[in-house]
Amino acid sequence: MDTLEPAASPPSPQSVLRRAGEIFAVSAKLGFTSFGGPIAHLGYFHEEYVKKRKWLSEQKYAELVALCQLLPGPASSQVGMGIGLYRGGVLGALAAWAGFTLPSVLLLVLFALLLKGTELADSGWLHGLKLTAVAIVAQAVWSMGQKLAAGRSRATITVLAAACALLWSNGLTQVLIILISALIGIWLYRDLPGAPPSRADEEPSTAINLGRKWAFAALAAFFGLLVILTLSGWLWPVPGLQLFDGFYRAGSLVFGGGHVVLPLLESEVVPRGWIGQADFLAGYGAAQAVPGPLFTFASYLGAAIGGVFGAVLATVAIFLPAFLLVIGVLPFWSRLRGLPNIHRALQGVNAAVVGILLAALYDPIWTSSVRHSGDVVLVLALFALLVYWKLPPWIAVLAGAAGGVMLGWAYGS
């Protein structure tokens, strides 16, 4: 199957708009209630879209999740876009993204605007948010490592990737690590078979026939923007263009979900002096307390750098690659998933992603947040709440802010 299955007859403009409105309403409800990160989001999506509304079958949902785990970008958001694409075409994909993303965008932009211009660098609660970010990233490294870096060969890739990311800390290094790890994965796991071909029987009809022309256009736009924006950012160092370029590149090159985007974004905005390290980590901590995709941390950064216009620019830039990739790859996925080298490369890439995140956990997150033994105690307590007590991240955020205030009293800061 090279194209999405068409509906029995072309939908009218009115029915397309009605369906897009329905998709937006359902995804907005999920955007307001989906706490817990991308894995939890996939559970909410399955309950709402597959079991309750039956917009797609179990098998199609599983294959969509598999595809979005393979693509760079925010996996849960891409799954939502894919469901919207199945249900309502390109307009449906836009509606699904907007509904799921808008609630957390608004909350984080509001937080950034309230924080902007205030002298809160030494506030106890702000320091607590930074320590919460340490615990949450540590939890991500812990859980991802157990799944993606199991075994000696994968663990070795993880350690080497972390070492390289620490020794040569820049965005280009991370891209090279991912590419080299993909080649290593193809070689190391050369006996790993591909996935079995998918079956398309008993699938719900989709709203639109998305053929190869749309797919090729989307892929051309994805790669074209990646090259053009990079060159333009070098040739014309205009702040708005550089901002869009940096966030588009981050959305294009991040494998492994929201936490992994942290080092790429940090290398784009902090060294340039657009935002301080304290405000960067405070926003990252706040992003854990809101529902929806973690990539909306970009909205906070954009608002902190350039107000509402900066927030719009950063949000569009970081999610645009995901949108183009879903449209560009989904029509071909049933064949691509069976290629053995895709699965082999992914073994190396996933292990390297854990290493990149491990390096970011140490520098800049740990080195810029943990100042004394009390901070270590609070980080360990928050880590235990997340890993062993399985409490949701928003509780850890509140506990971290309160703990930061108490540490401020104890240490006089």
Domain ranges of the chain: 105-195+210-411
Average pLDDT of the segment spanning 136-148: 84
DSSP state of 337: T
276 and 119 Cβ atoms separated by less than 8 Å:
no
Whole-angstrom Cα distance, residue 233 to residue 40?
A: 36
Per-residue pLDDT tens for 244-255? 999 999 999 887
Per-residue pLDDT tens for 50-67? 888 889 887 788 778 767
pLDDT computed for residue 202 by the predictor: 43
Q: Which residue has the higher pLDDT, 92 or 196?
A: 92
Per-residue pLDDT tens for 352-380? 888 887 988 898 779 878 989 999 999 99
50 and 57 Cβ atoms separated by less than 8 Å:
yes
Q: Which residue has the higher pLDDT, 198 or 331?
A: 331
State the pLDDT confidence band at 180, using cuts at 50, 70 and 90. Answer: very high
Q: Identify the burial level of 371 via C-beta atoms within 10 angstroms of its C-beta, where 0-12 means exposed, 13-18 middle and 19 or more buried.
A: middle
Q: Helix, strand, coil: what percent of the chain each, to 5?
A: 75, 0, 25
First to last CA, the chain: 62
State the pLDDT confidence band at 80, using cuts at 50, 70 and 90. Answer: very high
Measuring CA to CA, which residue among 259, 327, 243 is closest to residue 293?
259
Structure tokens at 294: 């973690």
Structure tokens at 308: 């509402």
pLDDT computed for residue 122 by the predictor: 57
Is the pLDDT assigned to residue 94 strictly greater than 90?
yes
Whole-angstrom Cα distance, residue 379 to residue 322?
A: 33
Which region among 155-159, 207-211, 298-302 has the lowest average model confidence (pLDDT)?
Answer: 207-211
State the pLDDT confidence band at 333, using cuts at 50, 70 and 90. Answer: confident
Q: Which residue has the higher pLDDT, 46 or 326?
A: 326
Share of the chain above pLDDT 70, in %: 87
State the pLDDT confidence band at 5, using cuts at 50, 70 and 90. Answer: very low
State the pLDDT confidence band at 179, using cuts at 50, 70 and 90. Answer: confident
State the pLDDT confidence band at 209, using cuts at 50, 70 and 90. Answer: low
pLDDT computed for residue 235 by the predictor: 82
Whole-angstrom Cα distance, residue 83 to residue 23?
A: 9
Share of the chain above pLDDT 90, in %: 37
State the pLDDT confidence band at 119, using cuts at 50, 70 and 90. Answer: low
Whole-angstrom Cα distance, residue 15 to residue 76?
A: 26
pLDDT computed for residue 193 by the predictor: 74
Q: Which residue has the higher pLDDT, 292 or 324?
A: 324
Where b means 16+ CB within 10 Å and e means fewer, 295-320 reads bbbbbbbbbbbbeeebbbbbbbbbbb
